[in-house]
Structures are given as C-alpha cells and as structure tokens.
Amino acid sequence: MSSAKEANLSALYAELNKFGQNGEYERALKAANKILSSQADEEKAFHCKIVSLIQLSKFNDALGFISKNPKLSSDLTFEKAYCQYRLNQPQEALKTVNSEQQLSVKLKELKAQILYRLEQYEECFDVYRDIIKNTEDDYEDERETNLSAVLANLCIEGSEKELPALRETTYELVYNTACQLIGRQQYIEAEKKLRLSEKMCREMLEEDGSTEDEIEEELAIIRVQLAYCLQLQGREKEAQGIYTAALKRKPDDISLVAIASNNSVAINKDQNVFDSKKKMKSASSDGLEHKLTSRQRKNIAVNQCLMLLYTNQGDQCQKQCELVSRLYPDLTADLSLVRATQLARDGRAREAAAILEKAASSSPTQELEMKLASVQLLLAQGDRKEACNILRNLGDSTFKPGIVSALVTLYLADNNREGASNILRDAVEWYKRSKDKGDLRLLWRQAADLNMRSGAPNIAAQSLEELLKLNPDSTKTLAQLVIAYAQFDPAKATALSKKLPNLDYQGQDVDALESSNWIMGTKVIKKATKVEPSPGSKAGTPGDELLQKKLKKKKKRKGKLPKPYESGVLPDPNPDRWLPKHERPGYRKKRVDRRFRDAAIGKGTQGTAAGASDMYDMSKVSNQSKASPAATSPIVEPGPRQQQRKVQQKGKKKGKGK
C-alpha cells in the first residue's frame, strides 16, 4: 500500500515538475493541490503551490496560505516578503526580510527594491553596492541600472554623499545619468544625454525586432523627461509640444500620463483653464499612490489646490488645502499661502493675515516668508501700524537692510520720525554687536539725514561723527558735520570748518557768475533788462527816439459810441468792437492739427492733386479740346512721381497753345 502511494506521489511530482518547466502554472497549481490533499505535510508541494500563485499574480491567496501554514512556510521568507511587496505593503515586507539573520542574494535584492519603494535611497545604495561587489552572474547590467536609478534620486534630493560614476553602455544607464544631471541642475548636459538615450533606445529595440508601437511606448518615457528638462530651461513651448504628443498616443503607463499632465498644467498656469482641469483629473486618478514618489504626489496635490485657486472655487480650494495639509504636514506653509491668497481675493485680508501668522509659528524655516506675506496683506488694507509691529518683532531679521528701509518708510508715512530714528539707531547697535558688520556707513548716513530733517542736529552730529570715524578722509561727511554743529554749537563748527579744504577761485569772475543769465529765469531777465543807448549813438538821435516810443505804452483810444446810445441806461460797449478779431486783446490763434499743418487743404477739389483741378474746369476743358486733339484719349493713372511730371508737361502745352 505504501509503495503504491509512493508511486502515485512520484507521478504527481513528475507531472508538477513538467507543468512548472512549461510555465503552465494553473495546471501546476492543481497538481500541487492533489499532492497536498493526499499528503498535507509535503513542503515541496506547498512551496510549488505558493510559487504558482505568485506567478498567477494571486498574491493575496499566496500570503493567506503562508499565514495559515506556518510549519510549511518556515523557509518561505522570500515568497512572503515578495507577496507583501507586491501588495504595496513595503513596511511589512521590510520587517519580514529583516527577520532573517543571514540574507541570501535574492533577499538582498528584494530588500534593495523595498528600500527604493520606501525612498530610503542611501540604505538602498549601500545594499546594491554590496550585492555588485560580492556577486558575479548574468544580472550585472540590471543591478547596475537599478543602482544608477538610486544615484539619480540621491542627486535630486541633494545628497552630499560621494557618488560613483557608472558606465553608459545601455540607453537605460544613459537615461539615469541624465536624471542625475537634472538633479545637479546641469540641464544642457542632461538634454544631450536624453537625446542620446532616445537614439540608442530606438536602435536597440529595432535590432531586437520590436514593433513601432512598442518602440514608441518605451521612447515616451525618455521624451517626457526631455520635455521636463526643456521646461526647466524656460523652453516651455517646446516642452508643451512634447507633452501634448505623448498624451495623444494614450500610453498604458498611468504614471507617465500623470506626470505629463501635471507638467503641462504647470506650464498653462492660469491660462487654458478648461484644458488644465481635464489634465488635472488624469494627474490625480486612482491607483497612482504607489506608482509615483512622494515628491511627485506632493507636487500634484499642490497643483490641484492652485487649479482651484485659478478657477475661483474658493470653498473647494480651502477644503482641498486643509486635506492636503493633513496628508503632507510639511506642505502646510506653502498651502497657507494659497489659502491666504484665496481669502485676500474674497476681500478677507485680515483672516488671510491670521492664517499666515499661524503658519509662521509652526514653520520656523519659512517664518520670515510667511510674516512678510502677512505684512503685504495688512498694507493692502492700510493697516500700517500692525505691519510695523510685525516687522519690528522679526528678531535678527528686523535689521536686514531691506526691512530697515521698509520700516523707516512706513514710520515716515505716519509722521513718526522718532520711530524711524530709533530703528536706524537699533540697527547700527545690532551690527556693532553682530559678527556680520554690514555696511554701517549707509545706516549712519541715513540716520544723520533723517535727524537733520527732523530738526535734531545734535543726534545727527553723533551719527556723522561715527561715519567720520569709518571714513576720516570724507570731505562730504566733514561738511555735513560742520552744518550740524553750526545749529547748536557754533564754536565747534568754526573749529571744525578749518579742516575743510580751501576753495580755489583763481580765474573765476564772481560778479560775472552772479549776474549771469543761468541764475535767473527768462521772464526775470526780460523785466530786469534796461534799454540803454548804444555807445556810438548820441542822445536824441532819431533811432533812439523811435526806440523810446516803441517802449512807451500805447494809450487806449476812447471808442466811438453809437448815436442812439444813452449813458447810464445800457452797459458801456466794448471799446475794441470796431477792431478786427485778430487785433483784439483776448484773441487766441486757432490751433492747427499737426497732421494737417503742412497739408494743402482748400487748394482744390477734395481728393485731387495740385493742378488736377484744371482738368475738371469745363471752360478750360473746352479750350483744351480745341487746341489739342489728344485730349480725348483715355486717361491712364500713373504713379505719384509720374503724375507730377505729366502735370508740368500739360502746363507747357497750354502755354504754347496760347
């Protein structure tokens, strides 16, 4: 009986092996179940069953059988971890792998894939480097390609780790090298590598006998990355064309569709909103959470919020921002800006400023950015006092030159000269204590000018003294200090003025300069000019008398009154009523449009050239017809230059006829 069972078991195992070798996993699964139904403790049959389920992509079933049969699955750590990895449970898969004390090569490779999915790129890099160093088989190119992908992500994240240079023998390796260059912001070199990768990919796939659709499907990934590289260079029109062409082919890779759609929306911004809304749906479809990296998912989520902002969907924008903030807490500050912008558009600037203040307290790295944005909103509402309070309480950032300048401007706008003087003084004191000395000369000079305008020359003198210590050879500073002292300490001003350089007046006629025309305006010069007789003329000469008569005011003549006029009954008539209009005192010459100033208006019939009016004078036409029989010939309209010459010729003929 036992021999019959053994014979039957060996036959079933032979059948199971045959199905496994031929890749007939459905039949292999049935054969394994037959063995397990007769012998439930057969570990090999159980192992074959799990492998068959994995090959049929029935990961849930495989994981369920492993969990129910711990005794039979003690050596199935790899299969269990792989099922968890494929079911998008990377954390559980990593725990399963780490439960083994000694990792085999296949477990190490699985661990590297899990770490890549978890975006733990530095640990993944170490695992791949260990595998490549300690193994020699036919999978060396695949491992090196995966390692180059890890290096590309490390470059994108800005890792300071020293990264090795890899070969570029395949189009995948060249593509990953281009991604590394993009991470280092070397976009021109990355563009060259991507174009080379595209060429190598086509040549390689054509040699392998791939169809055109398969080639285009593989090239689409390289082209979309090339479009992203062009977009980063500012060549958005070229990038948009590549994105559009890639999406028109409707690729099967949903992650590729999502990335191309999102990048296209980023180019559109607030234009082509209808097209952007359709593409944003593709970029945020279901099933992408495990296909994209966290960085890509964050960018798409922020773009969704911006899309709602551009389309003026205020309530939905606020809800979406709150939802994304809960999913990605590190995006709270950025989304607070979006929320504040939406509230400001709705006329709720104070609420927007409160949101930014809250975001600033929760995000130290972006505190200054948030507070400056809230200051801008408050200034838009005219609340300068609160804006000054925020700027005054920025800590060390308050004394940055731009913020000091803004505070001085705001204080002066409120006529608070004391506050402006205080902030300048505090800024100087802060720079004295700080390691970063900054440009104290500019601050001292601004403080001195402000105090001089405010009527505080003694405080201004202190600022100028400090400024003079920094630059003792400055004549300008010394002169300003003398002016300041002159207002409250004349003795000190006199003593200090001796240090000023002497002015050299050699060769200068002071009287001539004072009486020169550039000092006075033209009207003053005319009034001040006196008519004096020329040196050669004598007093009383006819020319002198005539000049004097012209300078005398003309006496107004008493105007004539009409005969029936009765004095006192009607108002006095205008004495200039008999004068022509152009001679009356209130006459103003009519302005002529510049366009028609030089035009010959009124010199003939409208629309005709000079001299053409004679052609339409019937009396002259009749005389012409008698004098010249050629006048009845048809008229050919020449160009402008020919027309002028022809008119002159006609004039000559008329002269001869007469």
Look at residues 386, 381, 388, 418 and name the one whose alpha carbon lies nearest to residue 405.
Answer: 388
Q: Rounded mean pLDDT of 342-366? A: 83
The answer on pLDDT for 291 being more than 70 is yes
**Would you tell me how many other CB atoms lie within 10 Å of the CB of residue 312?**
12
Q: Give 518's pLDDT tier (boundaries 50, 70, 90).
A: low
Q: Rounded mean pLDDT of 477-491? A: 79
Q: Do the Cβ atoms of 471 and 441 come closer than 8 Å? A: yes
The answer on pLDDT for 599 being more than 80 is no
**Would you tell me how many other CB atoms lie within 10 Å of the CB of residue 561?**
12
Q: What is the pLDDT of residue 566?
A: 62
Nearest-angstrom CA–CA distance, 93 and 84 = 5
| Least reliable range by pLDDT among 70-79, 507-516, 548-557 | 548-557
Q: Do the Cβ atoms of 181 and 228 come closer than 8 Å? A: no
The answer on pLDDT for 602 being more than 70 is no
Nearest-angstrom CA–CA distance, 382 and 414 = 11
Max Cα separation, the chain? 166
Q: What is the pLDDT of residue 561?
A: 60
Q: What is the pLDDT of residue 515?
A: 63
DSSP SS3 for 567: strand
What token pair was written down for 337?
Answer: 């800006």
Q: What is the pLDDT of residue 631?
A: 37
pTM, 2 dp: 0.65
DSSP string computed for 369-414: HHHHHHHHHHHHTT-HHHHHHHHHTSGGGGGSHHHHHHHHHHHHHT
Q: Give 242's pLDDT tier (boundaries 50, 70, 90).
A: very high
Q: How far is CA 483 from CA 324, 374, 487, in A?
A: 62, 42, 7
Q: How far is CA 301 from CA 220, 258, 262, 331, 358, in A?
A: 24, 12, 10, 10, 22
DSSP bridge pairs for 570:
567
Q: Do the Cβ atoms of 110 and 97 come closer than 8 Å? A: yes
Sequence-distant (6+) residues with CB within 8 A of 92 are 84
The answer on pLDDT for 560 being more than 70 is no
The answer on pLDDT for 101 being more than 90 is no
The answer on pLDDT for 651 being more than 80 is no
Q: Give 564's pLDDT tier (boundaries 50, 70, 90).
A: low
Q: What is the pLDDT of residue 303?
A: 92
The answer on pLDDT for 657 being more than 90 is no
The answer on pLDDT for 162 being more than 90 is no
Nearest-angstrom CA–CA distance, 270 and 399 = 37
Nearest-angstrom CA–CA distance, 417 and 449 = 11
Q: What is the pLDDT of residue 632?
A: 35
Nearest-angstrom CA–CA distance, 576 and 564 = 19
Q: What percent of the chain has pLDDT over 90?
A: 32
Q: In the Cβ-directed half-sphere of 447, how many Cα atoms lie within 13 Å?
A: 26
**Would you tell me how many other CB atoms lie within 10 Å of the CB of residue 231?**
21
DSSP SS3 for 570: strand
Q: Do the Cβ atoms of 616 and 608 come closer than 8 Å? A: yes
Nearest-angstrom CA–CA distance, 85 and 230 = 35
Nearest-angstrom CA–CA distance, 629 and 306 = 84
Nearest-angstrom CA–CA distance, 200 and 178 = 14
Q: Rounded mean pLDDT of 477-490? A: 78
Q: What is the pLDDT of residue 653?
A: 42
Q: Compute the Cα dihedral for 383, 311, 302, 272 and give only its sign.
A: negative
Q: What percent of the chain has pLDDT over 70?
A: 75
631-640 pLDDT per residue, tens:
333 333 333 4
Q: Region of 516 please: left (phi>0), alpha (psi -120 to 50) or beta.
A: beta
Burial class (CB in 10 A: 0-12, 13-18, 19+), 43: middle
The answer on pLDDT for 470 being more than 90 is no
Q: In the Cβ-directed half-sphere of 349, how many Cα atoms lie within 13 Å?
A: 13
What token pair was written down for 408?
Answer: 């001085």
**Would you tell me how many other CB atoms lie within 10 Å of the CB of residue 52?**
24
Look at residues 477, 484, 472, 479 and name the one whose alpha carbon lies nearest to residue 497.
Answer: 479
Outline where DSSP puts E strands in 434-589: none
Q: Do the Cβ atoms of 267 and 235 come closer than 8 Å? A: no
Find how far residue 625's CA is from the centre of its chain.
Answer: 77
Higher pLDDT, 580 or 534: 580
Nearest-angstrom CA–CA distance, 264 and 88 = 29
Q: Give 84's pLDDT tier (boundaries 50, 70, 90).
A: very high
Which helix (H) or strand (E) element contains residue 277?
helix 273-283
Q: Give 171's pLDDT tier (boundaries 50, 70, 90).
A: very high
| Least reliable range by pLDDT among 173-187, 334-348, 597-611 | 597-611
- Based on C-alpha coordinates, what's the Rg of the chain? 47
Q: Rounded mean pLDDT of 49-59? A: 93
Higher pLDDT, 155 or 520: 155
Nearest-angstrom CA–CA distance, 107 and 97 = 7
| Least reliable range by pLDDT among 151-160, 346-355, 452-461 | 452-461
DSSP SS3 for 230: helix
For 366-403, b/e burial (b = at least 16 CB within 10 A) is bbebbbbbbbbbbbeeebbeebbebbeebeeebbeeeb
Q: What is the pLDDT of residue 612?
A: 47
414-464 pLDDT per residue, tens:
888 778 778 777 777 777 777 665 556 666 676 777 667 767 677 777 777
Nearest-angstrom CA–CA distance, 265 and 259 = 10
Nearest-angstrom CA–CA distance, 530 and 135 = 111
Q: What is the pLDDT of residue 526?
A: 52
In angstroms, how far is the first alpha carbon of the chain from the final one? 151
| Least reliable range by pLDDT among 137-146, 483-492, 542-551 | 542-551
Look at residues 498, 499, 118 and name the one whose alpha carbon lies nearest to residue 293.
Answer: 118
Average pLDDT, the chain: 79
| Least reliable range by pLDDT among 503-512, 575-584, 648-657 | 648-657
Sequence-distant (6+) residues with CB within 8 A of 126 are none
Residue 472 DSSP symbol:
T
The answer on pLDDT for 369 being more than 70 is yes
7-47 pLDDT per residue, tens:
788 888 888 889 988 989 999 999 999 888 888 888 899 99
Q: Rounded mean pLDDT of 283-295? A: 86
